[in-house]
Structures are given as C-alpha cells and as structure tokens.
Amino acid sequence: MVIYPIRRDIDGQGTQLVNWVAEIQSPRNVMQDWNLDGRLEDFLPTFAQWKFDWLDVAGMLREADTVLEYPMVDRDPLPYWTAGRTTLLGDAAHPMYPRGSNGAGQAILDARTLAGCLKREIDAAAALKAYEAARLDAANKVVISNRSLGPDAILRTVHERTGDKPFARIEDVISRAELDGISENYKRIAGFEREALRQRPSLV
Ligand SMILES: Cc1cc2nc3c(=O)[nH]c(=O)nc-3n(C[C@H](O)[C@H](O)[C@H](O)COP(=O)(O)OP(=O)(O)OC[C@H]3O[C@@H](n4cnc5c(N)ncnc54)[C@H](O)[C@@H]3O)c2cc1C
C-alpha cells in the first residue's frame, strides 16, 4: 500500500487530497486495460484491519471518489529508438514496471539528454543518434532491473524475515547497511546516485 498526500485543506476544514495505490497480485485484468474501474471487494479485505491513530486506511479506501485498476506490465527493451529524424522517448521508448517510481523520472532524463544533444549537434539526425547512444542502455537496464523487484527487494526481505508479523523497529529486521545497499544499487542503475549527480555536468 502506497499512500501520499497531494493537496492540503481542500475544503477549508482540513481535509487532504490523498493518492493511494493498493498493489495486489491477481489474475484479473489480463487484457492490459488502463481504463478499468477498480472493484473495492477485490482489495479491501486485505486492508480491512489497517486502522492507525493517524489514518483509517480501510475507511479511506471505502470513501475514495474514483478507483482505477492498472495492469502490471512492461515491454522487452528495444534495440534502437531512432530512425532518421524520428526517435522515441519516455514510455514509448521503455515502458517499465512501476517499481522504484521511475517511469516519469527516466522520461525526464530522456528529455534533458535529448535537449542537450539538439543544442550541441547541428545535424538533427546525428543529435537523435547521440541521444539514443546516451540513453538506450541506461533506460533498458532500469526496465530489466524493475523486473527483478528493484527497490521492492526491501519489502520481500522484511516480509520473509518477519513471517508477515508486526514489528516495532525496521532496524530489528533489516540492518541500515542492507537498506542502504539495496537503495544505493537501484539509484546507481536508475541514474540518481547522489555523488554521480554532483560530479557529472548538466545534461543540457
Ligand atoms: C498508476 C501509475 C503510477 C505511476 N507512478 C509513478 C511514480 O511515482 N513515479 C514515476 O516516475 N513514474 C510513475 N508512473 C509512470 C509515469 O506516469 C510514466 O512513466 C510517464 O508518465 C511517462 O511519460 P511519457 O511522457 O513518456 O508518456 P505519457 O505520460 O503517457 O504521455 C504521453 C502523452 O501522449 C498523448 N498521446 C497519445 N497518443 C497521442 C496522439 N496520437 N496524438 C497526440 N497525443 C497523444 C497521451 O494522451 C499522453 O498525454 C506511474 C504510472 C502509473 C500508471
């Protein structure tokens, strides 16, 4: 379950606008339909007991204005994106599993790289080739990495070690070093490792 506030006090009475995602493995939606209405009964039972002093999760789910159901799908990495004066970018180039919350991040990296290449190269076709050379392997590695859990490996490890029982402190289950190791590895693959970002010149 992923929950995050989007906007404060939407009605002058302190109500927050919240986005939430319930991730459930299910054989439904094999048609890869992105416009399917979600059904409360498919996922509410899983979260029925989730009532904290700071949020009634089941109540929030029940009162949602809209529920949509998305399939968990991607596409195999492509061998090239550019043909003459045409190229691909973002989801059109590398649709990926939404693990690591990274699809839009990679699309932004594409856009900035493309802008930089168009600025430096006079010949448009050469600029598109240079953009592809800079981004294709990097983005394809994220697609592949997201197939093998990516940063969600933390969730699996904690689930296995606790036998799905509640715990008070995550440090009692998984060490800070292990957490950092998994995060840093994914950041390196996805291109947002802090030191690397500090050192490399602007893409544009
Ligand atoms: C539920 C969900 C949660 C997500 N969460 C995250 C997250 O937390 N972090 C993250 O980084 N990414 C996230 N993503 C992924 C992210 O939304 C996408 O990777 C990103 O939007 C891709 O951007 P894009 O510009 O390549 O494509 P899109 O955002 O799909 O833009 C393509 C645009 O082209 C338009 N279009 C299509 N066909 C035509 C046509 N023939 N003529 C004119 N216009 C056309 C479409 O209407 C659309 O506006 C999430 C995706 C989903 C579905």
CA-to-CA distance for 133 and 129, rounded, in angstroms? 6
Question: Cα(91) to centroid of ligand 1, in Å?
Answer: 7
> 17 φ, ψ to 5°?
-85, 125
- 93 φ/ψ sector (left φ>0, alpha ψ -120 to 50, else beta): alpha
CA-to-CA distance for 99 and 144, rounded, in angstroms? 11
pLDDT computed for residue 73 by the predictor: 85
Number of residues assigned to the chain: 204
Probe residue for ligand 1, chosen from 101, 108, 187 as the CB with the greatest number of ligand atoms within 8 Å: 101
Tokens of 142: 């994220």
Q: Are 148 and 141 in contact (CB under 8 A)?
A: no
Q: Which residues approach ligand 1 with their CB closer than 6 A?
A: 70, 90-92, 98, 101-105, 107
pLDDT computed for residue 191 by the predictor: 87
Domain ranges across the chain: 2-69, 90-199
Q: Are 77 and 94 in contact (CB under 8 A)?
A: yes
Other CB atoms closer than 10 Å to residue 13's CB: what's the count?
Answer: 6
Q: Are 19 and 6 in contact (CB under 8 A)?
A: yes
Question: Cα(110) to centroid of ligand 1, in Å?
Answer: 13
Probe residue for ligand 1, chosen from 102, 108, 112, 192 as the CB with the greatest number of ligand atoms within 8 Å: 102
Question: Cα(85) to centroid of ligand 1, in Å?
Answer: 23
Q: Which amino acid, residue 23?
A: E
Residue showing tokens 């939606």: 29
pLDDT in tens, the chain (204 residues): 899 999 999 999 999 999 999 988 777 766 778 888 999 999 999 999 999 998 999 999 999 988 999 888 899 999 999 999 999 999 999 999 888 778 999 999 999 999 999 999 999 999 999 999 999 999 999 999 888 877 788 888 999 999 989 899 999 999 999 999 988 888 888 888 888 889 999 999
pLDDT computed for residue 26 by the predictor: 77
